[in-house]
């Protein structure tokens, strides 16, 4: 490291922060190799790449989480080496990560001043705190109430408070790691307004996202990383979306969404006037060989319908039929026996067992298949579970590794693996591609295609409208717990579907 | 398929499930061993060598048999504790279970008709083991069905069981057991090894098979690791919890019977040290208090470590109090090292380990 430090730091004139020849290895494996990028003031610079391409490692180095093995970070002409997130912030590098880390029980003002409360006479000066918080929020052009509790804020508002918090002090660089991953469109707009304000102030903004649509809206230049190396940095107007996918994945765009032939068979899943928590009189059906979408706003009740079908919440009235059999009550275990499998949206809390290997996670639902009077045939289990993981292209391909060692997309593949250990008739996907990069996303879609072609019924619950429009044969829109519309054929397009999201049933105007 | 593999190979260094080569050297080997077993094997080796050098009697045959006998009781208790810990629960009632099992065993044997010692012994053992099942069922139902914290439940049942034992025996040891009991199950040698050690081997193998080769074992790990996820993956959570915890308490009762045979007396105060000692043994052995992981060999090595430490220090006449201090310090050391180990294990990016054997012909295309 010293040898590098003595080199004269070189930085493109005018750049706020630059990395030159940055290299970082984990256990001998390169996560970043010889990466050189300049980030300019007043510019939103998009970092783009699949999970595991090195984006997180790069911002980790900038934010003081990782120490580089080679190369330099130069901040306004000075070589720096952030040793902790705190140190990075003192240097003027602010980072906001995907998951908001506010204390839910505290107010916005308390969160904003946490750890540096203004004091007077040894006590917290509440008035000064309120003022400091209001100022921090005003600075980024937000009108969030400093007295509100963090738990009452929307995800977007929490993100904005996070940004306000990280920008206190003299920030020159702001790193945003997938800030919109869990936001609705409207919330995204709110966030973008704030980002735009900061950009005008001349802050260099480093923005990570997987969403193609956002890149052009917000970014000026883009750097594409693949397998730890910088593939290209260029202004966004110089590349097309197809170029970007090609640069990122190293393969031609074979269209993200596969064409799935529509050969509907008999009805596999049928709901008739189903009532449950947040679900009011829902009718829907999914046939074999069909991919059916269930879309709507977050909180519309579409996720709840999926949970009802899998026995995760109670059906209060109405009928659920699986292959013609009554399935109103019963546990997930019974549903699995009836041929239904559900892939939860929250793979961390509901999907994965983090203390067990990828292989054991996959085989968990099918142990009885390999067991004879309770004893598992481990050779067969290993062979078949690993074949499933290979088929889903788990990367890196080590089935003995713990789920934590995989990226989001690959963790999702582990969860999906459960559906491939044995034939299930009905597959219910709840937001299968949130926090998943484009490469893994294509692989997940391919898996859905394979399932449908093999004659399974697929119910795809998703807030990602392009995904729904391009992948499914039919789509239901859910609003306020009811089916607000059903679309297929030429009606299945964003312009027709989107307005239905906002259907209101209650007399009082929805808030 | 051909084109697909080709594009994959073109994309980068890691196609699915094919071994790329991480740098392989002694350092990595040690690292892998450390990640798998923690610091305990090393501590055991250091301990044995040190005591053997300082006090030659430590490796005499008499002492080895002595250690083998002592480790049998704690070893089984530690494995029983492990069954609870894997499901993310504590068992603080194993001491009480041992005590009540001992008193029950002795009382039944003494009260049974003396003309048929075999029948008396059989009845005594069955009654004692039944106690284990009862305690286990009470624990498990309260924990699994009523969702009461296992810490409080087992603390409660442990106290209650000890109380019942004391009440039952009127606070005095129960003596006058059939001599055959102690002769056959306490001091006898089976194939040259002490009977209790023979039982330990059985329990060890049984627990190993249970946890690694049966559905129940896998499901127990899964439930302990993430109960919600296990439920959604179709595991019958309550049944798993109950089965595993009942087995744990059953093993505690078994130890009660074994100790009763060894000392030829039923006593209500023989288990007091077990709740804490078994947790220490399990934790030193790498069994996570957070549930979902742990190896039987770890529980056994943890128990062996505690027994060897006490035994060795007894031989070189270290005061009991000093022994406690040292044991406490080593426990904390082991926990600290374990944190490092967990961190490495959890944060390390997955790599294709060399043990991975390719199952397809991908190998040629992957450079």
Domain boundaries, chain A: 2-99+174-189+199-249, 267-502
Residue B58 in domain: no
The pLDDT of residue B11 is above 70: no
Pick the residue with more confidence: B291 or A434? B291
Instruction: State residue B262's pLDDT score.
Output: 92
Task: Name the β-bridge partners of A376.
Answer: A371
As a whole number, mean pLDDT of residues B189-199 equals: 88
Residue-wise pLDDT tens digits, B285-327 = 888 888 898 999 999 999 999 999 999 999 999 888 888 888 8
Find where tokens 């750049």 sit: A15
CA distance A472 to A449: 10
Residue-wise pLDDT tens digits, B268-294 = 989 999 999 999 999 888 888 888 989
| The two three-digit tokens of residue B4, written as one number | 């697909």
Residue-wise pLDDT tens digits, A296-340 = 887 789 999 999 999 999 889 999 999 988 888 889 999 999 999
Integer CA distances (angstroms), B299 to A250, B92, B214, B253, in order: 49, 16, 19, 18
CA distance B211 to B239: 15
As a whole number, mean pLDDT of residues A479-485 equals: 92
Range scoring the smallest mean pLDDT among A120-134, A300-314, A346-360, B86-100: A120-134
Return mean pLDDT, chain A.
86
Range scoring the smallest mean pLDDT among A416-420, B189-193, B219-223: B189-193
Instruction: State residue A156's pLDDT score.
Output: 75
Pick the residue with more confidence: A239 or B157? B157
Pick the residue with more confidence: A204 or A255? A204
Instruction: State residue A38's pLDDT score.
Output: 93
* Banded pLDDT at B204 (limits 50, 70, 90): very high
Collect all residues of chain B within an 8 Å Cβ-Cβ radius of residue A375.
Answer: 209, 213-215
Chain B contact probe: residue of A345, A397, A409, A440 with most B CBs at under 10 A: A397
Instruction: State residue B19's pLDDT score.
Output: 41
Burial class (CB in 10 A: 0-12, 13-18, 19+), A429: buried
Above 0.90 for ipTM, yes or no?
Answer: no
Instruction: State residue A165's pLDDT score.
Output: 84
Residue B57 in domain: no
Interface touch B352/A390, C-beta < 8 Å? no
Range scoring the smallest mean pLDDT among A416-425, A476-485, B2-11, B315-324: B2-11
* Banded pLDDT at A57 (limits 50, 70, 90): confident
Contact residues for B41 (Cβ-Cβ < 8 A; gap 6+): B33, B301
Residue B261 in domain: yes
Note whether A351 and A344 are within 8 A (CB). yes
Instruction: State residue A252's pLDDT score.
Output: 55
Number of domains making up chain B? 1
Instruction: Give the rounded percent of residues in chain A with a pLDDT score beyond 90.
Output: 39
* Banded pLDDT at A254 (limits 50, 70, 90): low
Residue-wise pLDDT tens digits, A353-380 = 999 999 999 999 999 889 888 899 999 9
Residue B93 in domain: yes
Find where tokens 């921090």 sit: A136
Size of interface A-B (CB pairs under 8 A): 165
Range scoring the smallest mean pLDDT among A109-113, A209-213, B267-271: A209-213
Interface touch B12/A250, C-beta < 8 Å? yes
Instruction: State residue A99's pLDDT score.
Output: 67
As a whole number, mean pLDDT of residues A72-77 equals: 90
Tell me how close the Cα of B314 comes to any Cα of chain A, in angstroms: 38
Tell me how close the Cα of B310 comes to any Cα of chain A, in angstroms: 33
Residue B367 in domain: no
The pLDDT of residue B188 is above 90: no
Residue-wise pLDDT tens digits, B326-345 = 888 887 887 787 777 777 76
Instruction: State residue A209's pLDDT score.
Output: 83
Closest CA to A263 of A236, A282, A228, A287: A287
Chain B contact probe: residue of A33, A53, A353, A373 with most B CBs at under 10 A: A353
CA-nearest residue to B13 within chain A is: A227
Residue B223 in domain: yes
Closest CA to B275 of B169, B146, B153: B153
Candidate CATH numbers 3.30.420.40, 3.40.50.2300, 3.40.50.300, 1.10.8.870; the one for domain A267-502: 3.40.50.300
Residue-wise pLDDT tens digits, A171-181 = 899 999 888 77
Interface touch A398/B229, C-beta < 8 Å? no
Interface of A with B in 336-395 (CB under 8 A): 336-337, 342, 344, 349-356, 360, 363-365, 367-368, 371, 374-376, 378, 383, 386-387, 389-390, 392-395
The pLDDT of residue A86 is above 60: yes
Architecture per CATH, A2-99+174-189+199-249: 3-Layer(aba) Sandwich (3.40)
DSSP 3-state percent helix, strand, coil across chain B (nearest 5)? 75, 0, 25
Chain B contact probe: residue of A364, A399, A417 with most B CBs at under 10 A: A364
| Other Cβ atoms closer than 10 A to B130 | 15
Tell me how close the Cα of B272 comes to any Cα of chain A, in angstroms: 32
**What is the layout of strands, in order, in the sheet containing A267-276?**
A279-287, A267-276, A315-322, A325-326
Please, where are the H alpha helices in A354-458? 358-363, 367-370, 378-391, 408-417, 438-453
Instruction: State residue B356's pLDDT score.
Output: 36
Residue B14 in domain: no
Instruction: State residue A300's pLDDT score.
Output: 87
Q: Is A152 left (phi over 0), alpha (psi -120 to 50) or beta?
A: alpha
Residues in chain A: 511
Instruction: State residue B189's pLDDT score.
Output: 82
Note whether A473 and A286 are within 8 A (CB). no
Contact residues for A48 (Cβ-Cβ < 8 A; gap 6+): A55, A208, A209, A215, A222, A223, A224, A225, A244, A247, A248
Domain holding B101, by residue range, is: 69-273+286-295
| Other Cβ atoms closer than 10 A to B163 | 14
CA distance A442 to A252: 12
Instruction: Give the rounded percent of residues in chain A with a pLDDT score beyond 70.
Output: 94
Collect all residues of chain A within an 8 Å Cβ-Cβ radius of residue B8.
Answer: 393
Same fold across A2-99+174-189+199-249 and A267-502 = yes
């Amino acid at each position: 490291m010293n040898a590098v430090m003595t080199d004269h730091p070189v930085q493109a004139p005018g750049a706020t922060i630059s990395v030159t020849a940055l290299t970082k290895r984990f256990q001998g494996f390169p996560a970043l190799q010889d990466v050189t990028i300049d980030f300019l003031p007043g510019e939103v610079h998009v970092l783009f790449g699949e999970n595991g391409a090195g984006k997180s490692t790069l911002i980790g180095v900038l934010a003081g989480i990782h120490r580089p093995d080679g190369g330099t970070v130069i901040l306004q002409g000075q070589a720096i080496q952030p040793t902790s997130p705190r140190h990075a912030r003192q240097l003027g590098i602010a980072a906001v990560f995907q998951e908001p880390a506010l204390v839910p029980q505290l107010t916005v003002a308390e969160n904003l001043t946490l750890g540096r409360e203004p004091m007077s006479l040894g006590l917290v000066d509440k008035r000064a705190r309120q003022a400091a918080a209001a100022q921090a929020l005003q600075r980024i052009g937000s009108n969030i109430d400093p007295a509100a509790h963090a738990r009452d804020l929307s995800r977007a508002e929490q993100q904005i408070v996070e940004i306000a918090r990280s920008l206190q002090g003299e920030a020159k660089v702001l790193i945003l790691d997938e800030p919109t991953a869990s936001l609705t469109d409207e919330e995204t707009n709110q966030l973008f307004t704030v980002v735009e304000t900061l950009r005008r102030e001349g802050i260099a903004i480093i923005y990570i996202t997987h969403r193609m649509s956002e890149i052009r809206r917000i970014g000026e230049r883009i750097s594409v990383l693949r397998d730890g190396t910088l593939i290209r940095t260029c202004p966004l107007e110089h590349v097309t979306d197809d170029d970007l996918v090609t640069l990122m994945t190293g393969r031609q765009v074979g269209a993200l969404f596969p064409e799935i032939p529509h050969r509907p068979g008999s009805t596999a899943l049928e709901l008739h006037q189903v009532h449950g928590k947040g679900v009011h009189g829902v009718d829907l059906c999914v046939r074999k060989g069909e991919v059916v979408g269930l879309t709507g706003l977050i909180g519309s009740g579409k996720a709840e319908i999926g949970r009802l079908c899998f026995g995760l919440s109670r059906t209060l009235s109405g009928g659920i039929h699986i292959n013609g059999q009554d399935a109103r009550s019963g546990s997930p275990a019974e549903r699995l026996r009836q041929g239904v499998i559900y892939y939860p949206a929250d793979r961390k809390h509901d999907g994965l067992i983090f203390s067990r290997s990828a292989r054991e996670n996959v085989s968990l639902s099918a142990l009885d298949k390999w067991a004879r009077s309770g004893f598992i045939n481990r050779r067969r289990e290993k062979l078949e579970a690993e074949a499933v993981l290979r088929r889903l292209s788990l990367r890196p391909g080590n089935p003995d590794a713990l789920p934590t060692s995989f990226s989001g997309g690959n963790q999702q593949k582990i969860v999906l693996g459960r559906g491939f250990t044995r034939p299930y008739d009905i597959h219910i996907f709840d937001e299968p591609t949130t926090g998943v990069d484009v490469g893994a996303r294509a692989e997940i879609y391919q898996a859905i295609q394979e399932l449908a072609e093999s004659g399974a019924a697929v119910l795809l619950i998703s807030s990602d409208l392009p995904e729904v429009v391009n992948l499914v044969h039919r789509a239901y829109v859910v609003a306020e717990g009811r089916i607000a519309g059903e679309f297929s054929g030429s009606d299945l397009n964003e312009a027709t579907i989107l307005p239905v999201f906002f259907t209101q049933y209650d007399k009082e105007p929805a808030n | 398929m051909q084109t697909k593999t080709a594009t994959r190979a073109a994309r980068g260094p890691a196609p699915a499930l094919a071994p790329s080569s991480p740098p392989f050297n002694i350092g990595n080997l040690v690292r892998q061993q450390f990640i798998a077993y923690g610091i305990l094997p090393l501590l055991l080796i250091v301990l044995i060598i040190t005591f053997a050098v300082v006090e030659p009697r430590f490796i005499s045959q008499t002492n080895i048999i002595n250690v083998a006998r002592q480790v049998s009781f704690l070893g089984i208790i530690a494995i029983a504790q492990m069954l609870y810990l894997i499901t993310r629960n504590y068992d603080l009632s194993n001491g009480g279970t041992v005590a009540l099992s001992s008193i029950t065993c002795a009382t039944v044997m003494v009260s049974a008709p003396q003309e048929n010692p075999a029948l008396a012994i059989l009845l005594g053992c069955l009654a004692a083991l039944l106690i284990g099942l009862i305690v286990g069922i009470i624990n498990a139902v309260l924990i699994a069905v009523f969702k009461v914290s296992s810490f409080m439940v087992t603390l409660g049942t442990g106290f209650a069981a000890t109380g019942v034992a004391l009440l039952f025996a009127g606070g005095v040891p129960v003596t006058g057991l059939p001599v055959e009991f102690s002769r056959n199950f306490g001091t006898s040698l089976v194939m040259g090894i002490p009977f209790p050690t023979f039982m330990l081997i059985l329990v060890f193998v049984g627990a190993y098979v249970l946890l690694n080769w049966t559905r129940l074992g896998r499901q127990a790990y899964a439930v302990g690791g993430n109960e919600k996820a296990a439920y959604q993956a179709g595991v019958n959570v309550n049944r798993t919890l109950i089965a595993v915890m009942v087995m744990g308490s059953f093993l505690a009762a078994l130890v009660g019977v074994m100790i009763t045979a060894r000392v030829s007396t039923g006593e209500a105060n023989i288990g007091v040290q077990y709740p804490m000692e078994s947790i220490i043994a399990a934790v030193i052995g790498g069994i996570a208090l957070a549930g979902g992981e742990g190896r039987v060999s770890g529980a056994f090595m943890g128990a062996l470590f505690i027994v060897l430490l006490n035994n060795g220090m007894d031989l070189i006449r270290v005061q009991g109090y000093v022994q406690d201090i040292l044991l406490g310090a080593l426990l904390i050391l082991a926990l600290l090292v374990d944190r490092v180990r967990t961190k490495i294990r959890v944060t390390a990016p997955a790599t294709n380990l060399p043990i991975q054997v390719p199952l397809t012909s991908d190998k040629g295309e992957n450079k």
